[in-house]
C-alpha cells in the first residue's frame, strides 16, 4: 500500500491546491483522517440508531429502513459514477497546461448531469411506492419517507460533486470533517423530530434539512478553494472547451461520452448495492418489517468495519490512477501491500465480532426485546464476509485505475444474480441467517474474476501467500475461543461474568497480536514503508 521510498521513484507534485508536500505522509493522512472522521460519524449514527430502535416500533422502523435502502439505490444512479470519473480524470490532468480549465469543465458537466438524473428518478420512485404500498405492506409513513429522501438527491448531487473535486486534489480531510459536523446536526434534528412525535417522516425531514445545509457549506468551500471556476457552475449547454486538447466538441457528444464513461461505474456501484441490500427486499416480501429491522441491527455494526476499505482505496486512488498509466510494477507493489494489510486487520475483526455479537446487538438496539438472539446469530454468520469484502474492495479500485471498469460490471452482474437466487432459496428456509450465508458466498463469486483480471493486467499475484499468515493466526484463535465460549454464553448473567467476558475478548486480541509478531507477515521493506507513512 505504501512505498518505503516514495520520493526517488515519484517526485512530489508541487501543486498549489495540495497542502501536504510529502507523498507518504499525504497518503497516510488521506487514509487516516477520513477514517477517523467516518468512525466518529458512525458512532453518532449508532447512537442515533439506538434512539430509533428504542422510540420507533419495529414495523414502522422497518418501513423507514426500506426507504433509506431505496435512497441508497437512487443516489447511486444519480451519481452515475461521475464523481469517481471526475476524480480520476482531474487527478490525471494535474500540473498540465489545461489543468484549471479541464477541472472546471469536468466539474460543471458532471454536476449538471447528476442534477438532471436526480430529477428524472422521481418517476420510477413514484412507481416503486405504488407497487410496495399496494402489494408488499409498505406503510403510508414509509412511503412519504421514500419521497422526502428522494428529494434530497438534488442537494446531495452538488455536495458529492464538490467532494470529488477535493478527492482529485488528494484533500480528503476537509470533506470528512464536514461529514462529521453535518451528521451531528442530522442526529440532533432527527432525535428532536422523534420526541416531537413526528415519527419516521420526521426522520426523513431531518435528513433532507441536513442535506440542504451540507450543500450550502460545500458551495462556500467551492468559492473559497476554487475561485477560478466562475460564478455559474452549471453547464446545461455543455459548451465547448477553449482548450485545443478537448476531444469532445459538441453538447450531444459530451453528454454521450460522460454517460458512456460513467455507465459501468454507476452500474458497478448499483450492483454492489443490490448485492448487499437486495436481501432486505426479499426479507420484507417473505417475512415482515420486523425481520428487516432485525437484519438491519446486524448490519449497523458492519458499517464501522466497512469504513476501512474506502479509507484506504480513496487515499490510494489518485496514486493508483497515475501508476496504472506509467508504472504498473509500482501499482502491483502497493496493491499487494494493501491486500496484506487489510487481511491483517480483517481477521481480528471477524474473531471479535463473533465473540461480542450479543453485546453489540444489545448496544445497537438499546437492549430492546425482540432482537436477541436472532440479530446476534445473523451478525456472527455475516461477519465472515469481511476479509473477502476487503480484498474485493481494493481490487475493484485497482481495476478502475486500469480503466477496466467494464469488466467489473460483468463480475458484479454475475454476483448479483447469484446473490438474488441464493436469497430467494435461503431466506424462506433460514430467514435472515440465510441472507447472511448468501452474502458470504456472493463475495467468493465476486473474488474469482477480480483476481483473475488483476493478475492478467499486473502480472503474477500470489494471493494465498499474501493472506496466509494472518489467516493462520485467525484459525489458531479458534482454540482459546472454544475453551472460553462458556464465558460468552453467560455474559449477561452478572457484573462479574460481564467483566470476564470483556477481558476474554481482549485476551483473544492479544493472542492474535502475539501470533502476528511471531509469524512476521510484513517484510522489512513493508515495515519501513509503514514507518515512513506514519512519521510526522
Write the CB contacts of 159 (distance below 8 Å, at least 6 apart in sequence): 211, 214, 215, 218
Closest C-alpha to 171, from 261, 94, 97: 94
pTM beyond 0.75, yes or no: no
What does each C-alpha distance from 167 to 3, 84, 91, 135, 337 come to in angstroms? Answer: 20, 9, 8, 43, 22
CB 110 within 8 A of CB 85: yes
Residue 283: all three cell numbers together: 426479507
Q: What is the 3-state secondary structure (H, E, C) of 51-112?
A: HHHHHCCHHHHHHHHHHHHHHHHHHHHHHCCHHHHHHHHHHHHCCCCCHHHHHHHHHHHHHH
pLDDT in tens, 56-106: 765 667 778 888 888 888 988 988 888 888 877 777 766 655 566 777 878
Residue 375: all three cell numbers together: 440479530
The distance of Cα 373 from the centroid of its chain, to the nearest Å, equals: 27
CB 228 within 8 A of CB 100: yes
User: Which of 116-125, 359-368, 492-501, 515-524 is most confident?
Assistant: 116-125
Which of 79-88, 153-162, 509-518 has the lowest average pLDDT? 79-88
pLDDT above 80 (res 536): no
Q: What is the 3-state secondary structure (H, E, C) of 405-459?
A: HHHHHHHHHHHHHHHHHHHHHHHHHHCHHHHHHHHHHHHHHHHHHHHHHHHHHHC
Which of 9-23, 91-105, 233-247, 320-334 has the lowest average pLDDT? 9-23
44 burial level (CB within 10 Å; 0-12, 13-18, 19+): middle
The confidence band for 27, taking pLDDT boundaries of 50, 70 and 90, is low
- How far, in Å, CA of 404 to CA of 398, rounded? 9
Write the CB contacts of 452 (distance below 8 Å, at least 6 apart in sequence): none
pLDDT in tens, 245-294: 444 344 555 777 888 888 877 877 777 666 666 787 788 777 666 787 78
Amino acid at each position: 500500500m505504501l512505498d518505503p521510498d516514495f520520493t526517488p521513484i515519484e517526485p512530489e507534485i508541487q501543486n498549489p491546491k495540495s497542502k501536504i508536500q510529502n507523498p507518504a505522509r499525504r497518503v497516510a493522512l488521506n487514509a487516516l483522517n477520513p477514517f477517523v472522521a467516518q468512525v466518529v460519524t458512525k458512532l453518532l449514527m449508532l447512537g442515533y440508531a439506538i434512539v430509533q430502535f428504542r422510540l420507533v416500533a419495529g414495523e414502522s422502523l422497518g418501513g423507514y429502513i426500506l426507504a433509506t435502502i431505496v435512497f441508497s439505490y437512487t443516489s447511486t444512479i444519480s451519481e452515475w459514477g461521475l464523481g469517481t470519473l471526475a476524480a480520476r480524470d482531474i487527478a490525471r490532468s494535474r500540473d498540465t497546461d489545461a489543468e484549471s480549465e479541464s477541472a472546471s469543465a469536468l466539474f460543471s458537466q458532471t454536476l449538471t448531469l447528476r442534477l438532471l438524473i436526480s430529477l428524472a428518478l422521481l418517476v420510477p420512485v413514484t412507481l416503486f411506492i405504488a407497487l410496495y404500498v399496494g402489494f408488499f405492506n409498505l406503510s403510508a409513513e414509509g412511503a412519504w419517507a421514500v419521497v422526502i429522501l428522494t428529494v434530497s438527491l438534488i442537494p446531495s448531487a452538488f455536495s458529492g460533486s464538490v467532494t470529488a473535486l477535493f478527492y482529485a486534489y488528494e484533500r480528503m480531510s476537509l470533506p470528512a470533517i464536514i461529514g462529521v459536523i453535518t451528521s451531528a446536526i442530522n442526529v440532533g434534528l432527527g432525535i428532536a423530530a422523534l420526541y416531537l412525535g413526528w415519527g419516521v417522516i420526521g426522520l426523513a425531514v431531518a435528513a433532507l434539512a441536513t442535506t440542504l445545509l451540507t450543500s450550502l457549506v460545500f458551495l462556500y468551500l467551492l468559492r473559497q478553494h476554487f475561485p477560478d471556476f466562475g460564478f455559474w457552475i452549471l453547464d446545461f449547454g455543455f459548451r465547448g472547451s477553449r482548450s485545443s486538447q478537448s476531444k469532445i466538441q459538441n453538447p450531444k457528444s459530451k453528454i454521450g461520452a460522460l454517460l458512456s464513461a460513467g455507465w459501468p461505474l454507476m452500474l458497478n456501484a448499483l450492483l454492489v448495492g443490490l448485492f448487499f441490500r437486495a436481501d432486505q427486499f426479499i426479507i420484507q416480501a417473505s417475512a415482515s418489517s420486523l425481520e428487516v429491522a432485525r437484519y438491519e441491527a446486524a448490519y449497523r455494526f458492519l458499517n464501522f468495519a466497512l469504513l476501512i476499505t474506502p479509507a484506504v482505496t480513496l487515499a490510494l486512488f489518485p496514486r493508483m490512477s497515475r501508476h496504472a498509466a506509467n508504472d504498473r510494477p509500482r501499482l502491483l507493489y502497493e496493491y499487494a501491500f494493501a491486500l496484506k494489510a487489510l487481511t491483517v486487520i480483517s481477521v481480528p475483526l471477524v474473531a471479535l465480532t463473533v465473540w461480542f455479537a450479543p453485546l453489540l446487538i444489545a448496544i445497537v438496539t438499546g437492549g430492546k426485546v425482540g432482537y436477541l438472539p436472532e440479530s446476534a446469530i445473523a451478525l456472527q454468520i455475516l461477519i465472515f464476509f469481511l476479509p473477502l469484502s476487503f480484498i474485493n474492495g481494493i481490487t475493484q479500485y485497482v481495476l478502475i485505475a486500469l480503466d477496466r471498469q467494464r469488466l467489473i460490471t460483468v463480475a458484479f452482474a454475475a454476483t448479483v444474480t447469484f446473490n438474488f437466487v441464493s436469497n430467494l432459496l435461503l431466506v424462506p428456509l433460514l430467514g435472515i441467517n440465510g441472507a447472511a450465508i448468501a452474502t458470504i458466498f456472493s463475495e467468493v463469486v465476486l473474488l474469482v474474476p477480480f483476481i483473475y483480471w488483476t493478475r492478467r493486467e499486473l502480472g503474477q499475484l500470489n494471493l494465498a501467500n499474501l493472506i496466509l499468515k494472518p489467516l493462520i493466526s485467525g484459525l489458531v484463535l479458534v482454540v482459546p475461543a472454544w475453551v472460553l465460549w462458556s464465558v460468552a454464553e453467560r455474559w449477561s448473567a452478572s457484573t462479574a461474568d460481564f467483566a470476564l467476558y470483556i477481558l476474554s475478548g481482549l485476551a483473544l486480541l492479544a493472542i492474535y497480536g502475539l501470533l502476528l509478531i511471531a509469524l512476521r507477515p510484513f517484510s522489512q521493506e513493508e515495515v519501513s514503508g509503514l514507518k515512513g507513512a506514519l512519521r510526522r
